[in-house]
Amino acid sequence: TTPRGVPLRIQNLRKEFGGITAVADASFQVEAGSLTGLIGPNGAGKSTTFNCIAGVHRPTSGKVFFQGEDITGLRPEQVANKGLVRTFQIAREMEDMTVLENMMLAPRGQVGESLFNSVVPGIPAPRFLDDSQRQRWERVVPQGRRAVTRQEEDLRERAWETLEFFEIDHLAGEYAGSLSGGQRKLLEMARVLMTDPEMVLLDEPLAGVNPTLEKKLLKRVHDLREEGLTFLLVEHDMDVIMNNCEHIIVMHQGTVLAEGEADDIRNDDRVIDAYLGE
């Protein structure tokens, strides 16, 4: 088991793809309320580790504990329903829905397979949709009931508040497919918050994001951390990690090469060698 102050712990995690060992018995833990960074040169095993934690890959061996519970091998939606949520890309089907509709597909505590498999759950068409939006909704939400319940009103309010928090509420009625790369990233983050997570996994959340949006996104991450959320940030860009994370884990060749604060990592010869050997 794991102490309460340690939401995430991976122990001797290993993932092999055929003959390739992507993660080679890696162990680390993430403190509650921290913004922990996971870095390493290309091919170090960061994404594979991330995917093993999030339930996308089943580890070959080793364990993943979340809040003291063994969650190894659970499916992504099962992991998400425990409060450990990764950002998920906006699927094709969701591109034809508005930003607000996208937000309402991720109610707290009931992450469906939908978010991962592109099948939309039976949420009724919100009343504010215009006719063409309603037709689209009913096409992709086959089981939609008509009545709008109190719960759905609350959900909608929460969606608006979250969009405001990310300053994308003005885009609520736009098709998700029409957003810029950076706006999509903000929507992906906003959607994750709709699930009311305890811990958020971010894999390169800033890829393709312009500097203004990057600042905004990082600011929001810091705000949420102050409210008690825990973050694990996987990022290729060393500077982003150095400037934002209080604890940094460096992976190399599938294992943990070094761990510590930015200054420790910056001055670690093994880390420098690993990056130079890239």
Q: Which is nearer to Mg ion, 46 or 136 (CB)?
A: 46
CB of 37 to ligand ADP, least distance (A): 13
Nearest distance in Å: CB 274, ligand ADP: 11
As given in the structure block, the two tokens for residue 173 are 């009625």
Under rule CB under 5 A, how many of the chain's residues touch Mg ion? Answer: 2
Interaction partner, residue 230 (ligand ADP, Mg ion, none; CB < 5-8 Å by kind): none
Q: CB-based contacts of 242: which residues, under 8 Å, 6+ apart?
A: 248, 262, 265, 266
Sheet order of strands, 69-70 included: 20-30, 8-17, 61-66, 69-70
Which of 29, 34, 36, 48: binder of ligand ADP (CB under 6 A)? 48
Q: Pick the closest to residue 262 from 234, 233, 239, 235 (CA basis).
A: 239
* Eight-state DSSP code of residue 178: G
d(CA 49, CA 256): 11
91 binds, among Mg ion, ligand ADP, none (CB under 5 to 8 A by kind): none
Cβ neighbours around 256 below 10 Å, total: 21
- Cβ neighbours of residue 118 under 8 Å, at least 6 residues apart? 91, 92, 93, 94
Partner whose footprint covers residue 207, from ligand ADP, Mg ion, none (CB < 5 to 8 Å by kind): none
Query: Between the CA of residue 174 and those of 55, 67, 131, 168, what are the distances in Å?
Result: 31, 38, 15, 10
x/- site string to ligand ADP, residues 18 to 47, per CB under 6 A? Answer: --x-x-----------------x-xxxxxx
Q: Nearest approach, Cβ of 234 to ligand ADP (angstroms)?
A: 7
102 makes contact with Mg ion (CB under 5 A)? no
Two structure tokens written together for 40: 């390493």
Q: Does 182 bind ligand ADP (CB under 6 A)?
A: no
User: Rule CB under 5 A: is residue 47 a binding residue for Mg ion?
Assistant: yes
Identify which of residues 22 and 79 has a Cβ nearer to ligand ADP in the complex: 22
CB of 204 to Mg ion, least distance (A): 7
Which residues in this chain contact ligand ADP in the complex, by CB under 6 A? 17, 20, 22, 40, 42-48
